[in-house]
Structure formats: structure tokens, C-alpha cells
Amino acid sequence: MFYSGKMVDMKDNAKPHRRNWTLRVFAVLFLIFILGFLGWSGWVYVQIEDYAGLDQAAPSDAIAVLGAAEYDGQPSPDFRARLDHAHDLFSRGIAPLIIVLGGTGGDAYSEGAVGRDYLVSLGIPESAIIAETQSRNTEEQAHRIAVIARANGLRRIVVVSDGTHLFRIHEICAADGLDVLTSPRTRVSFGGGAAESERLAHEILSYTGWRLHLHLHLP
């Protein structure tokens, strides 16, 4: 009887030991995950910063401008900065064609059409502009660039957007087989450091989601 009772006590004592061992395993796995995510995020951050500070603009077949917000048919400050930069590249003879991308944002106007009209107001011939008006996010815009390029025999594209946006765009376009150069628009100062941090966090999350084929459909 004494031996049997002792065996029961040993089994009872083993249960907390197994629980503690399981918790340690989960803690180690969680720590590995956190360290891996931080390492990955750091690598993506470096790529984003590299592209943000690099202007690769060189003679190409077209300039593609990624859409941004428009307000009642007028480009937002962000969008206007991108369009002005594309106008400058066009004036320098970088490419004979501008592709403006972006669908509707809930009103009667599309970003592509608003961008086209703005560029025309700057003196660029409408015949030198292609307005894409269906895409709803960065991934769709990048894929539409590939479709337009193939349909028009365009081999090299200079992509214009915010600096922090360009690494993700380049990678998506490259995955579609495009020869893409990137050219960041002039910075528009608003929102301070907090806004810049939000942009970087957004890009890291969006790029990670794209690589994991999660189709987050973020802007």
C-alpha cells in the first residue's frame, strides 16, 4: 500500500513539471519568433530607406505615377508632388509617355483621371498620357503597370511615388517581369516624425503581407 501511494505522489508531482517544460518551450519559440520578426523588419527597413534615397531615373519608355488621394477632382499634396516630379522627368526627356494610375476613392473622380487632367494643365499633351482608372491599391497598380507595359511594348519603366513606397513597388513589378527604375517624388512635409514612422511601419507590414501571399489589400 505504501509503494502504491508513493507512485501516485510521483505522478502527481510530474504534472507540474510537464506544464513548466511546455511553458518553457512556448516561451523559447515565442522569443525566436520575435527575434526573427525584428530581424526581418530591420532588413526590410534598410531596403526601404535605400530606395527612398535613390533616384534611378534614366532614359526609359514610360514614367508611371502611383495614385494617391484626390479631393473633388483635385490632387492631394502627396499626389501633386508625384505628378510634378513626373512632369519634371518628362520635361527632361526621361520618357515620352506618362502612365497615371488609380481608381475612384468614393466620389465621382478617379485618381488616374485627376492625374491626367493635372498633367494636361501643366502642358503635357493628352496623347502622351495613359490614365488607368480601375486599380484600388498599390499591388493592383503595380500589376496594372505590367499589363499596360506589355500591351504597349514598353520595356523599361520609371516609377514615381513616395520614397518609402518604392521598395515594395519595385519588388512587385520585378515579380511581374518588369524592368523598373525608381524615382522618389519631392518630400511634402506634414505630420512630422510620427507620420513618417507610420508610413515605414505600414510599408514593412504591407511588404511582409505581399511576400506571404496574404493579399492584405493595403494602400
Rounded to an integer, what distance in angstroms lies between the CA atom of residue 137 and that of residue 158?
19
Number of folded domains that form the chain: 1
Domain containing residue 63: CATH number: 3.40.50.620
Rounded to an integer, what distance in angstroms lies between the CA atom of residue 27 and that of residue 21?
10
Q: What angle do CA 89, 110, 77 make, to 5 degrees?
A: 55
Rounded to an integer, what distance in angstroms lies between the CA atom of residue 84 and that of residue 87?
5
147-155 mean pLDDT: 95
Mean of pLDDT over the chain? 86
**Is there a domain that residue 81 lies in?**
yes
What percent of the chain stands above pLDDT 70?
86
**Is there a domain that residue 35 lies in?**
no
**Is there a domain that residue 33 lies in?**
no
Q: What tens digit of pLDDT does each residue of 43-102 get? A: 999 999 999 889 999 999 999 999 999 998 999 999 999 999 999 999 999 999 999 999
pTM of the model: 0.80
**Is there a domain that residue 28 lies in?**
no
**CB count, 10 Å around CB of 100?**
30
Number of residues assigned to the chain: 219
**Is there a domain that residue 26 lies in?**
no
**Is there a domain that residue 34 lies in?**
no
Band of residue 32 on the pLDDT scale cut at 50, 70, 90: confident
Q: Cell 476613392 belongs to which residue? A: 105
Burial group, residue 188, by CB count within 10 angstroms (0-12, 13-18, 19+): middle
**CB count, 10 Å around CB of 141?**
28
| Residue range(s) defining the domain that contains residue 152 | 52-211
> What DSSP element (H or E) covers 30?
helix 2-52
- Sorted by sequence, the CB contacts under 8 Å of residue 195 that are 6+ apart come out as none
**Is there a domain that residue 32 lies in?**
no
CA distances from 74 to 116, 124, 133, 181 (A): 11, 17, 15, 27
Kindly give the interhelix angle for 166-175 and 2-52, rounded to the nearest 10 degrees.
Answer: 100
**Is there a domain that residue 7 lies in?**
no
